[in-house]
Amino acid sequence: MNATSVVLKFGSSVLADRCLPRVVHEIYRSYRRGHHVLAVVSAIGNETDRLLAEARYWSTPPVPKLAVAELLAIGERCSAALLSMAFGRAGVQAGLLSPAGIKLMFSGECLDAWPTSVDTQVIRQAFQMGPVLVLPGFACVQETGGSALMGRGGTGLTAVFLAQALDAAECCMRCGRFATRWTACWRPSA
């Protein structure tokens, strides 16, 4: 990927309280500077906790890990879809990617996975269609096609893994409420 590509990660606290227009503005700022932007998003607000409570209510021990992974991945997928729609409302078409679509594979347990590979060519081709892409973080794909989760901090892990795989110019993470600076930025060494 060229040096003008960036990966921006938005955590659940940033995505709370219908803040999607502010997230669109943050991403648009990088786009205006000439960057291709891959936005990796968490679930909105407390959605993961809500879904986990539902899983606990409806399951009996032993907890069906594959079903829990599928359920919790819904929060990030919903967030990514809504952010893509918010871009459309702002007059910018944002491509919507999925972990399965980019073949984001893992190793480890299905509720504590580690990303191992991704088809970067799919992402590069998507950038040819438009400069802004949105991807749900936290989840990756099993060889059988089901979801696996990267555990606590999984959206950040997704963002850093993809930035490295894509040789992005930087990877910035917004984990808290909006302020004048990013919570953390990583730039590859020259």
Give per-residue pLDDT as tens, 102-133: 999 999 889 999 999 999 999 999 999 999 99
User: Do the beta carbons of residue 8 and residue 174 sit within 8 Å?
Assistant: yes
Average pLDDT of the segment spanning 155-163: 95
Burial-class residue 76 by CB neighbours within 10 Å (0-12, 13-18, 19+).
Answer: buried
Average pLDDT of the segment spanning 49-68: 92
Average pLDDT of the segment spanning 3-25: 86
Average pLDDT of the segment spanning 177-186: 53
How far CA 136 is from CA of 59, 77, 89, 167, in Å, comes to: 25, 5, 19, 20
Average pLDDT of the segment spanning 161-166: 96
Higher pLDDT, 61 or 143: 61
β-strands 105-109, 5-10 pairing:
unpaired
Does pLDDT of 144 surpass 90? Answer: no
Q: What is the mean pLDDT of the chain?
A: 88
Q: In the prediction, which pLDDT does 183 show? A: 55
Cβ burial 89-115 (10 Å sphere, 16+ → b, else e): eeeeebbbbbbeebebbbeeebeebeb
Return all residues near 10 (Cβ < 8 A) that are at least 6 apart. 23, 26, 39, 40, 41, 42, 174
Domain count, the chain: 1
How far CA 1 is from CA of 96, 126, 170, in Å, comes to: 18, 12, 12
Q: Would you call 79 helix, strand, or coil by DSSP?
A: helix
Does pLDDT of 181 surpass 70? Answer: no
CATH of residue 56's domain is 3.40.1160.10
Q: For residues 182 and 158, what is the distance between their CA atoms, to the nearest angstrom?
A: 17
**What are the residue ranges of helices labelled H in 5-64?**
20-32, 47-58
Cβ burial 29-47 (10 Å sphere, 16+ → b, else e): ebbeeebbbbbbbbbbbeb
Q: In the prediction, which pLDDT does 38 show? A: 98
Range of the domain at 104: 5-186
Q: What is the largest CA-CA distance in the chain?
A: 52
Q: In the prediction, which pLDDT does 190 show? A: 45
pLDDT category, 18, cuts 50, 70, 90?
Answer: confident
User: What percent of the chain shows pLDDT beyond 70?
Assistant: 89
